[in-house]
Amino acid sequence: MEEPGHDAVSPFGDASDGGGPADASGAKPAPIVLGETAGLGVGAGQQTLAQQAQANMPLEMAPAAGTMVVERIDVSGKWWPMAAPAILGAVCAVAGINLWNALLDPPAGMEEGTLAGDGARLLLGAFLLLNIGAVLAQLMPFPAHVRNRVLKTAVPTVVIGSILQLGILCCMFLYLICWVGTSALWGEQKMEPERLGVWMGLGALVGLLFGYVSAYFVL
């Protein structure tokens, strides 16, 4: 029941006032502010861990910035990088033909003069070249890791070149041109061990093929 002199006030406020009981005092609700949590900065934490890891890193694991060491060897004025592989290739070609003719009885279709027979004799010479060459490579006046790097390119050069020669008979003249060109361009330069391996592999390949052709017509 209404008391005299007082208006009835709705608990939900008047819609015409534009607000409820909270608006009667004119105060607006304060925004909720999440407090900052100290020590949870992700970037700062990661940077600190990276700095600690770098500080604990051994000295040999931290290369000098902006430096790159390229190992080169000097064979200028030496005869063996050009001549020794070619001589060894020719000797192995002749030995391969003699061993095949002396020790093996070729089956039908692999006689001398056939593509299969001549290819088998050539591959036998290449097999001898790779094995004997790997042994003689230990005589090169370089550290062991340099000799291994030379063989990493010399061996594939001989293998791929021998296989290509079986299918394309004129490859030997291309190998000869490449060998003469590399000898003229690289013979007086310091070079990486891998480049020396390609040069020596080409020389061994030329000696193998021309030694095989010479032995084929002479023997």
Q: What is the 3-state secondary structure (H, E, C) of 170-207?
A: CHHHHHHHHHHHHHHHHCCCEECHHHHHHHHHHHHHHH
Local confidence pLDDT in tens for the 219 residues of the chain: 444 554 544 444 454 444 444 444 555 555 554 444 444 444 444 445 445 544 444 433 444 554 445 678 888 888 888 899 999 999 999 998 888 888 777 677 676 667 777 888 888 999 999 999 999 999 999 999 999 999 999 999 999 999 888 876 678 889 999 999 998 888 888 889 999 999 999 999 999 999 988 887 776
| Residue whose token pair is 């090169």 | 140
DSSP-derived 3-state class of residue 82: helix
pLDDT of residue 36: 45
Domain boundaries, the chain: 79-103+113-218
> Which residues, other chains included, contact 211 with Cβ-Cβ below 8 Å and sequence gap of 6+?
89, 90, 91, 92, 93, 94, 125
pTM: 0.64
Distance between CA 165 and CA 216 in Å, rounded?
Answer: 15
State the pairing for strand pair 190-191/73-74.
antiparallel
